[in-house]
Amino acid sequence: MNTCVVCFWLVFFVLLAVYVYLDLKHDLLRDQSTAARKPWSFARTQLAWWTLIIMSAFVAVLIKCNTAPHLTSSALILLGISAATATGARLIDISDMKQEDISVRHQDIASEGFLIDLISNQNGASIHRLQALIFNLVYGVWMIVEVVNNLNNGVACDLIIPNMDANALILLGISSGTYAVLKTPENKVAPNAVSQDKPAPDQSGQSVPPSV
């Protein structure tokens, strides 16, 4: 196997291991939550996903060409979309926590598992979150395949990290924007319904059935 491809996967899995460690120790990829088992954050996971791919490609090209690679506009836009989504989600969470009329946030319900957490809002699984997850996963895998093929085929250093079609970037931007816009009212619409549909957690983070 090509040495640079090995370097790409080595960096990829080392960074992945760092993510796992920091999440276990410091809730790196979790929502701000009072639950003992904090739910996974879509926005943080999206930022981590694109950082993982682009950093792995960056290091592989650096080793192959002995110089810092030219980052394509696509790579910068993808990181920008992810960073903006994470920032927007954090600001929305801070706003929700300051609202006295919001007694229970759905983020304070204990985690139901990685996939369910990523695609769920106060009403359960949501189509806009699932759409954003699918698009980010598909285009991320496409970029990995392109980078690995370019490293194997001896493509010029500046072309190893591929440029993504403008419409694809717009699609990812729309998906992330839709996620952020629809996240804003998640805890503001009928907050009492959240406690009825999903029991509020106690101090240990365990769900407690509402009193009858």
pLDDT at 201: 54
Q: Where are the domains of the chain?
A: 3-192
Buried b / exposed e along 10-20 (16+ C-beta atoms within 10 A): ebbeebeeebe
Separation between Cα atoms, residue 170 and residue 120, nearest integer Å: 24
CB 110 within 8 A of CB 37: yes
Stretches where the chain sits below pLDDT 70 are 1, 189-212
CB 65 within 8 A of CB 152: no
Separation between Cα atoms, residue 57 and residue 72, nearest integer Å: 12
Q: What is the pTM of this model?
A: 0.84
> Over the stretch 24-76, which tens digit does the pLDDT of each residue have?
999 999 998 888 899 999 999 999 999 999 999 999 999 998 888 888 999 99
CA 54 to chain CA mean position, Å: 14
